[in-house]
Structure 1
Amino acid sequence: MHRLKISKTNQKLETRLRIALHAILLAFLVLATISAAIVAYFGSSELQDETLLSVALLVNTNQIGLQTNRSLYRHHDYDDGVHVWKISGDRGGAFWINKSISKGYHTINARDEFWRVYITADPESENRFAIVQKLNVKTNIALRSAMNTAVPLLGLFLLMPILISLIMRHSFSPLNKLGRKVGNSESLKLDMANREDIPVEVLPFVSSIESLLEKNAEYNHRQQRFIADAAHELRTPITALSLEVENLRKAKSPAVKEEREKLLLASISRLQRLVNQLLDLARAQSAEITNQAPVSLNDLLKTQIADIYALAESKDIEFIVENNDDVHVLDINNQLQHLVRNSLSNAIKFSPESSQIMISLLQLNNNALYSVTDSGPGVANEDLDRLHEPFYRPVEQSTDSGAGLGLAISHEIAQQLGGHLVFENLTTGGFRFSYTQSLCQNDSDRNHCSQ
């Protein structure tokens, strides 16, 4: 059994999701921490002023016992705490605060630090007090707020691998089950009648895989049928060659020998023609593009008529060109010449002697329309849709020496060139071969041509 080789660059979808979610969570953690620090920093200014005002109200209502003259009141530690200083001229008070400072909020630079100060006065004793706090307390508040935000997110970040693994394992269990089912299947078909367990997002992918497998099975069936038909078609001329060689070996008179040599050469010619048609069909079905260029369909038609004119003349058949517009289309691997030649040779083969073959080459909007109409018997209407199949010959043509590959080759060429091929019986009698293909987009520059 062929196993898929996984390189070092391949990653599980679970791993990719885990990395993506971790990156998102990490970015969220960083942004949330920074945002919390910024909000706390700017919000702490208002909080600090409210704290100073609250302490001032307590001082004015004598709800704080002032014990010393140096630091009358200190709330919390020295660095972050609120201090109450009496404003006086002696060195025991807040000597670094100007006695004439007005009541209210101030920011003062003293002792190599910035302080936030609120000045208040006792209405009874008219003593003035300074409620102070270091200004950098806002930074400490911001750092604490950032830490309080970051710690829970960091814990979640550390738990994410376990959570993601559990979620991914549960979510992808239907896909793993489907993968095991496909891997254990011996046929190119998915029997997925029950799809309730498959996620909705994956259903289009499953449908595409089913469609691809169906196309692959159909292609394999066509290939097997083609090989069987080709083997059958090759066996007949090879058998005939063997008989002709044996008959030639047994020939006794020069006249008989000459006659049997002609039959042998005819058999070799038929076999060579069949092999060439098989090669043409293989080239038409090939996706490899070795040559791509715009061509004049008018010039191509003239060349093919000249090459096949002797065959038409042998049956006294006349070519009549009704319309002959100068149109340019894209040609890939020089395939158009085979399509045109097949249409002409097919018309000659099934046209009665001393008849006419009508040829038309028209430009319709942005398309070139090429058609060949013969005076032959046509085919049954139910056979029209099968004429493009390799080796298919209608009942009316069962005695024909051809292999039934000409129209199949033309059909493959039309598909490769992005054209459209139509076969139809005329109500007045006869058979029409019609081919349509987009023109070159820019008639003034033949180097730019598209399908």
Structure 2
Amino acid sequence: MSRLSFAWPGPSIGRRVLAAMLIAFVGVWLMLLAYFYVEFRQALAVDQGLKKLGRAMSASLREVDSDAQAVGVMRSTATQFRTLRISGNPGGSVWMELRRRDDGAVLYRSASLGDRVLDAPAPQVIERDFDGVSYWVHGTEAGRWRLQLAEPRITGWWVLERNATRLLPYLLLAFPIVLLPVWLAVRLGLRPLQRLADLIARRGSSDLSPIGYDPPQAELKPLTSALERMLRQLRDKLTQERAFVHDAAHELRTPMAVIAAQAHALAGAADATERERAQLHLEQAIARASHLTQQLLDLALLDDAQPSAPKRVDVAQFARGLLAQAAPQAMARGIELALEAPDSLQAEVDVPALQSVLENLLHNAIRHVPDGAQVAMTLRVEDGRLALLVADDGPGIPSAERERVFERFHRGEGAHETPGSGLGLAIVKQAVHRMGGEVAIVDGLAPGRGVGFSVRLPLAGRTNTYG
């Protein structure tokens, strides 16, 4: 037995426009009902309709002197009123009664009034209950005549109900007339968007070339600009990744070749001296390959990962710990390490990124300065930012090379004589960028000698400095 299923279509701009139009028409309907209700309440407070009728009839009665003429006026008015307004009175019609003022003789009474007594004092409007129905009763005097009028009391709910049914057909008639132009405008307005979607759908999966579509509509220009910008970023990212993979493969090829050669030399060594030499070279090649692999992983993480949540740490103590770790390597070559920082510098920072910056700047300086040189690190807070400086008095960096030192796998003149991968400063730049800071090359510790790297990082939250 087959089962029928129905899937409700997804969100649609057309259906949203229809829903918005329905809501707008319902809002207009409710606002008009509220307007009529307020107008009704104001009319009751200022000049009730029954009073207006009484004034009009009194003006006519003042012009007549005989009973017959007065009765004729009443009959004529009753006939006209019954024809024109009786449908607007719920539960019955308007009752009318005319008496002479001098003797109180009744000259005219509405047939439906029966033996009911209308006794409203002139010129007031009072409420009376007749057979369980509430009526407004109004009395007025006109020359020789005393006039009494009564009509069923009109409630606010009756006004709302009556006007609701009267307005609804007009709104239903106007709805399709208003909806059609709006629907056409939406339909025509979405054509450029459909054309843009077709252009993108026809592209290949690896096609990141510009779309080349400039819509005339001002509303679509931000969308196409954002798409073009995204495609440009993807093209740049893909180019960068391809270059990165190429350079990484090239850099890894050298230590891998050395490892293979030294392993072969170790296997074929004739004596212990040759084995020791081959083993030393093998360990150095393995260490270089391991260091390069670790830096490639660090750089990939910095490229793709989102910034870590800031964590409150003592940056000064954190830097002292990294200096202590680098001290044995520096002492082995007679390099003097120094730190100028307050005793405590509490701040909220991206700890992994800050660690990458400090470690790479420190190790880069130790690696490239000669034996007996100086490497100094400075930490302070300036203008609400963390200012970090790592400087040395080594050979420095030529001016022509300074613009390229942050490029990946770039190693300047003479750098090939020292171990390294050419990724340390690239990692520093990427980590600083992830923290929203900036890095720059400055002068070293000695005039005309050395080089320094200045880093300025924004600080999240409150900072505390002691010492």
Q: Same fold (TM over 0.5)?
A: yes
CA distance in 1, matches of 2:273, 2:159: 121
CA distance in 2, matches of 1:72, 1:110: 27
Matched with 2:35 is: 35
- Contact 1:29–1:154 at 8 Å: present in 2 too? no
Shift of 1:29: 0.7
TM-score normalised by L of structure 2: 0.77
- Contact 1:73–1:83 at 8 Å: present in 2 too? no
Matched with 1:216 is: 234
Alignment of 1:55-204 (within 5 A): 55-62=57-64, 74-75=78-79, 76-77=81-82, 79-80=92-93, 83=96, 85-87=98-100, 93-94=108-109, 104=123, 106-107=125-126, 109=128, 111-112=130-131, 114-121=135-142, 126=144, 128-130=145-147, 132-136=149-153, 147-157=165-175, 161-186=179-204, 187-192=207-212, 194-196=214-216, 198-200=217-219, 202-204=220-222
Cα shift readout 1:277-334 (whole Å, capped 9, x = no counterpart): 2222233334257785333333233333332233323433223445555323445454
- 2:450 pairs with one of 430, 436, 440: 430
Cα gap change, 1:57 to 1:421, in 2 (>3 Å): same
Shift of 1:91: 7.2
- Contact 1:289–1:333 at 8 Å: present in 2 too? no
Counterpart AA for 2:387 = L
Shift of 1:275: 1.3
Classify the secondary structure of the residue corresponding to 2:174: helix
Classify the secondary structure of the residue corresponding to 1:404: coil
Matched with 2:4 is: none
Cα gap change, 1:363 to 1:9, in 2 (>3 Å): farther
CA distance in 1, matches of 2:277, 2:249: 29
Cα shift readout 1:263-282 (whole Å, capped 9, x = no counterpart): 22221121112112222223
Q: Tell me how large the CA RMSD over aligned residues is.
A: 3.9
Shift of 1:35: 1.9
CA distance in 2, matches of 1:378, 1:358: 14
CA distance in 1, matches of 2:32, 2:356: 71
- Contact 1:108–1:116 at 8 Å: present in 2 too? yes
For structure 2, which runs of at least 5 residues remain unmatched after alignment? 1-6, 87-91, 110-114
- Contact 1:41–1:142 at 8 Å: present in 2 too? no
- 1:305 pairs with one of 323, 328, 334: 323
Cα shift readout 1:62-110 (whole Å, capped 9, x = no counterpart): 59966689968622436445745345766775575579x8765554637
CA distance in 2, matches of 1:345, 1:354: 15
Classify the secondary structure of the residue corresponding to 2:408: coil
Counterpart AA for 1:238 = M
TM-score normalised by L of structure 1: 0.80
CA distance in 1, matches of 2:104, 2:222: 87
For structure 1, which runs of at least 5 residues remain unmatched after alignment? 1-6, 447-451
Segment drifting more, 299-308 vs 89-98:
89-98
Segment drifting more, 220-229 vs 142-151:
142-151
Segment drifting more, 58-67 vs 381-390:
58-67
Report percent identity of matched pairs. 19
Cα gap change, 1:292 to 1:103, in 2 (>3 Å): closer
**2:54 corresponds to 1:52:** yes
Segment drifting more, 214-223 vs 326-335:
326-335
